[in-house]
Amino acid sequence: MKTTLPTRRLTANPDLNQLKRQAKELLEAFRAHDAKASAEITSHFSNADPETFALHDAQLTLARAYGFESWPKLKARVDGVTVDRLAQAIRAGDLSRAKKMLAARPELATMSFDHLTLLHHAVLTRHPELVRLLMKYGANPHAGLYPHRDITSPLAIATERGYDDILLAIRESETT
């Protein structure tokens, strides 16, 4: 697999059906030996053969062109699995929705929203199960905010505020 920078930009409200059509059109154009389609595909695949190139390969090419590592990750983004929606689920204490979203896009666990990491949001809203979930997916309780990193980490905040349930969740998650 070649790693390249995104060459396409999603619209503000992307449509999955339109993306499926784009993948089919890309496949048809590649099979018809269209130079532009061939260039796009070969920028993501070495030795792509129009005779054996399938729709799932075109979907993967399209996902990579939009900056996603796979079609399911692109689909999850289009379906609304975004950092802001995950932050909403965390703030609402919706463990079920957060689990589904992280299963689709695990990289969201380490992202930030409103200048705070998602783990900060879980700590500040006192949701120990969400803290455990985010840490399972790689959230770091020691990562503070610039410029006062040490004293602004989720762990430091929970300690300072006496959130014993959160501290327990962090410690348990660090040992597993």
- Mean pLDDT per segment of 10 residues, for the chain of length 176 residues? 78 92 97 96 91 96 95 92 95 97 95 96 98 98 93 97 98 93
Read off φ and ψ for residue 73, nearest 5 degrees: -70, -40
Q: Can you give the pLDDT at residue 31?
A: 96
The structure tokens 């983004």 sit at 77
Cα dist from 67 to 32, 90, 107, 155, 169, whole Å: 25, 26, 14, 33, 34
Q: Can you give the pLDDT at residue 13?
A: 86
Q: Can you give the pLDDT at residue 45?
A: 87
Whether the CB-CB separation of 43 and 2 falls below 8 Å is answered with yes
Separation between Cα atoms, residue 21 and residue 151, nearest integer Å: 50
Q: Which amino acid is at 1?
A: M
Q: Can you give the pLDDT at residue 3?
A: 59
Question: What is the 8-class DSSP label of residue 70?
Answer: S
Buried b (16+ CB within 10 A) or exposed e, 86-97: bbbbbbeebeeb
Q: Can you give the pLDDT at residue 176?
A: 82
**0.85 cut: is pTM over it?**
no
- DSSP three-state, residue 116: strand
